[in-house]
Amino acid sequence: MRVVIISNLYPPYVKGGHEYQCQFAAEVLAESGHEVFVLTSRYGTDQPGYSREERVFRRFLYYTEIRSLARRLYAGLLNRANYFIAKSAIKKIKPDLAYVGQLNGISVFPLKALKKCGVPMVFHIGHYYFCELARYCVHEANPIKKGVNQFLTGFRSLHEFDFSHMLAVSTSIKAAHVEAGYTSGNISLLPPLGIPEPKIARQARSVVDLTRRPVRFLFVGRISKTKGIHVALESLKRLRDSREVPDFTFRIIGEGEAEYKAQLRQMLGDWGLQDRVSFEGFLPAAEVVRAYDSADFLLVPSLEEPFGLIVIEAMARGLPVVASAVGGIMDIIAPGKNGMLFEPGNSQDLSQQAAKLVNDPELYSSLSRQALAAVRAKYSRAAVARQLAGYIRNLNGAKV
């Protein structure tokens, strides 16, 4: 089959995990014998060193901030332009199937072009974009607001497109879409991607006494309030003040919201923790792997998390994870077996779970072993690739 990947962004120009999900799908489908093309936005094409890639069409107009009415009207114009951009590209590619990723910033108008050209679609959803469309364009009680939202977005009904084939990255994502009105029977579960074998550690962490040296905590991800980094800082203050974990370091790897980062720095200064916490910005993938290997724990204090890619990355290195019991993380972590969970936003609970692991070397080592086993069984590249390739193969057999 000829398959086109539709995504707002595509590596190397990324803002989150969705872009890597689409890259993973492109690689797996190409390995399965399909002809794969990517249709994405122009984002990143103005950066130094950009060069055209074979079968990657960076054409869509992309926008980010649409808070003001003027910006919303402007976005509405860009949306309509993306219809004609998509239609032109689709006529050249002549795809048999479209794999649809994240559309935020390019709108549903590319889907209108796919529909017009008779191209069936598979939606791999690791986001709440279609839930938001349902909320503002279908379930909105105010008819004026509803009409304006429908005009600007181009989305008018849950039957606007054929949503018969949806892949949700977690049970929480599936539940959110079912609650928004999408049909449960049309939504299957499939992780967004898998961990390549070279990135999976050969052996688990050994039994170690973490009370004899500074404990090395780690955070990897976008610096934003929804990632709950302030909760982690509050918990570390508790551990220091209670003397349960008196000595530690905390590395924060990632970029994000400048205002939130300033608030975090203010907290550190007020609590006298500034010498124990380092903001290290964006690091290349190889350095992130080394960060996993040198850490004792990964803290994932997210307030919301559609899947939790960072969780499986750390587990693949045998690094014990202490994470919020939220979203897709609850699909990955079996508490007390391959990781530890705490109540979202509850810094006391987080500090208690961390202290328990610091003071129980046998549990620490057991979590590491079972984390590795879970990744090999469910989240390796080979395991997820088989599921995705099989799903597409079955669709092709059914002639969607």
Task: Quote the pLDDT of residue 68.
Answer: 58
The amino acid that residue 66 corresponds to is I
Decide the pairing of beta strands 277-281 and 248-253: parallel
Q: State whether CATH 3.40.50.2000 applies to domain 197-379.
A: yes
Specify which residues 100 forms β-bridges with.
6, 123
* CA-based torsion, 319, 302, 101, 331: positive or negative: positive
Q: What is the DSSP letter of 53?
A: -
CB contact at 8 A, 314 and 335: no
Task: Quote the pLDDT of residue 52.
Answer: 87
Per-residue tokens: 390: 């099989």
How do residues 34-86 score in pLDDT, each as one tens digit? Answer: 999 999 999 989 888 888 899 999 999 987 655 555 666 667 777 889 999 99
Helices and strands, number each (H, E), in the chain: 14, 13
Task: Quote the pLDDT of residue 32.
Answer: 94
Per-residue tokens: 352: 């208690």
The amino acid that residue 256 corresponds to is G
Q: State whether CATH 3.40.50.2000 applies to domain 2-194+381-398.
A: yes
Per domain, the residue ranges of the chain are: 2-194+381-398, 197-379
Walking along the chain (400 residues) 10 residues at a time, the average pLDDT comes out as: 96 86 96 96 88 92 67 72 95 96 93 96 95 95 93 90 96 96 96 94 90 94 95 96 93 94 96 95 93 97 95 97 97 96 97 94 95 96 95 76
- How many angstroms separate the CA atoms of 266 and 191, rounded? 37
Element (H, E) at 205: none
How do residues 362-395 score in pLDDT, each as one tens digit? Answer: 999 999 999 999 999 999 999 999 999 999 998 8
The predicted model scores a pTM of 0.89
Instruction: Provide CB contacts within 8 A for 220, sequence distance 6+.
Output: 253, 254, 288, 291, 292, 298, 310, 313, 314
Q: Is the peptide bond before 198 cis (omega within 30 degrees of 0)?
A: no
CA 289 to chain CA mean position, Å: 18
Task: Quote the pLDDT of residue 153.
Answer: 87
Instruction: Quickly tell me which residue has 């960072």 as its tokens.
Output: 310
CATH fold match for the domains 2-194+381-398 and 197-379: yes
CB contact at 8 A, 127 and 18: yes
CA 317 to chain CA mean position, Å: 19
Instruction: Provide CB contacts within 8 A for 376, sequence distance 6+.
Output: 200, 383
CB contact at 8 A, 4 and 98: yes
Specify which residues 249 forms β-bridges with.
216
